[in-house]
């Protein structure tokens, strides 16, 4: 990627936490058969139900045609009726067996045996896929829409917010922030470089409410003395990853987010969202979770 036109703006992580690399991949198949399970797991629920319904209709239609090819082999079915053959196929695959339609030739019994085996395998596979989709651990973590840079203890500090949307706790939560930007080497080669950002606190034994993550911008920081214009020219992006253990299901969960240069606000602070009631209860106002305000004194 030595051409400037390859340096188009893109995000590594979308708002929903899905990778959205704006890259055209050449020489790779769009869907390899070995990745079929992964594709079925990540397919949306409407798409999954649509696919299963379509395969169900196609399978029963094919078996209905197979029954019709055997002539008048289904008792009490209208001769040559695709509708009756289709309904008989549905009853066979689902092992319903109402009794009004039944095979009366050896040919029909062979097709019924094949379809019964096919139905058992199909039900088992679909059940397994549905269970895998339901049991897949997911995180309900929100990130602030913007990150801010403001003085903290007299030092410019990058800050962003995270919060757990569920009414449980994420145990042993860990966060990692990485700066990604365009660079040109001394040989004139274009590269997309990754720099880890040292966080003031990258771990939390219990993540239940909110967590403001901070990175001090000192002379050791990759953000040191950079301006908004320079970050935009470098197409800089800060990618956040969060991992932890959901205490309810005792499984590891993951969450991702990113901030592009235009979403990093300078000389701003997050508004306070934590207060207490007269009875002493802690209150977290998530309606102001993304709000920021200018700082009074700039560095």
Q: How far apart are CA 133 and CA 40, in angstroms?
A: 9
Is the predicted pLDDT of residue 30 greater than 80, yes or no?
Answer: no
Rounded mean pLDDT of 210-238?
Answer: 92
SS3 176: strand
Helix (H) or strand (E) holding 266: strand 264-266
* pLDDT value of residue 15: 43
Q: pLDDT (tens digit, 9 = 90+) per residue, 108-167?
A: 999 999 999 999 999 999 999 999 998 888 888 999 999 999 999 889 999 999 999 988
Q: pTM here?
A: 0.73
Q: What is the mean pLDDT of the chain?
A: 86
With b meaning 16 or more CB within 10 Å and e meaning fewer, what string describes 143-161? bbebbbbbebeeebbbbbb
Give the angle 242-245-250 at the CA atoms, nearest 5°: 155
Write down all domains in the chain, each with its CATH number in brackets. Answer: 4-8+138-294 (2.60.40.1400), 33-135 (1.10.287.70)
Helix (H) or strand (E) holding 49: helix 45-69
> Helix 82-93 and helix 106-135: axis angle, to 10°?
60
Q: Which of 7-16, 93-102, 103-112, 118-127 has the lowest mean pLDDT?
A: 7-16
Q: How far apart are CA 257 and CA 242, in angstroms?
A: 9
Q: pLDDT (tens digit, 9 = 90+) per residue, 232-290?
A: 999 999 999 999 999 888 889 999 999 999 999 999 999 999 888 888 888 889 999 99
Closest CA relative to residue 54, chosen from 136, 126, 105: 126
Closest CA relative to residue 157, chosen from 197, 210, 214, 198: 214
The sign of the dihedral angle between the CA atoms of 87, 93, 98, 102 is positive
């Amino acid at each position: 990627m030595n051409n400037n036109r390859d340096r188009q703006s893109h995000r590594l992580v979308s708002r929903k936490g899905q990778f959205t690399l704006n890259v055209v991949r050449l020489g790779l198949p769009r869907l390899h058969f070995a990745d079929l399970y992964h594709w079925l797991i990540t397919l949306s629920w409407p798409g999954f139900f649509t696919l299963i319904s379509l395969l169900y209709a196609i399978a029963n239609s094919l078996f209905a045609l197979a029954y019709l090819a055997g002539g008048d082999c289904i008792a009490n079915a209208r001769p040559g009726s695709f509708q009756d053959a289709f309904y008989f196929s549905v009853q066979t695959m689902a092992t319903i067996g109402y009794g009004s339609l039944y095979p009366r030739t050896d040919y029909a019994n062979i097709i019924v045996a094949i379809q019964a085996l096919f139905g058992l395998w199909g039900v088992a596979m679909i059940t397994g896929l549905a269970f895998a989709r339901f049991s897949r651990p997911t995180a309900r973590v929100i990130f602030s829409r913007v990150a801010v840079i403001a003085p903290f203890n007299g030092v410019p500090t990058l800050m962003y917010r995270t919060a757990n949307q569920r009414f449980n706790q994420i145990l042993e939560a860990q966060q990692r922030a990485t700066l990604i930007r365009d660079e040109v080497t001394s040989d004139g080669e274009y590269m997309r470089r990754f720099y880890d950002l040292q966080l003031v606190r990258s771990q939390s034994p219990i993540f239940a409410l909110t967590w403001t993550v901070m990175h001090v911008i000192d002379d050791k920081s990759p953000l040191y003395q950079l301006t908004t214009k320079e970050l935009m020219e470098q197409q800089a992006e800060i990618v956040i990853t969060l991992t932890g253990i959901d205490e309810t299901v005792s499984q590891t969960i993951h969450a991702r987010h990113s901030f592009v240069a235009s979403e990093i606000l300078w000389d701003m602070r997050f508004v306070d969202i934590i207060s207490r009631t007269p009875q002493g209860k802690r209150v977290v106002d998530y309606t102001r979770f993304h709000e920021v305000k200018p700082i009074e004194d700039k560095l």
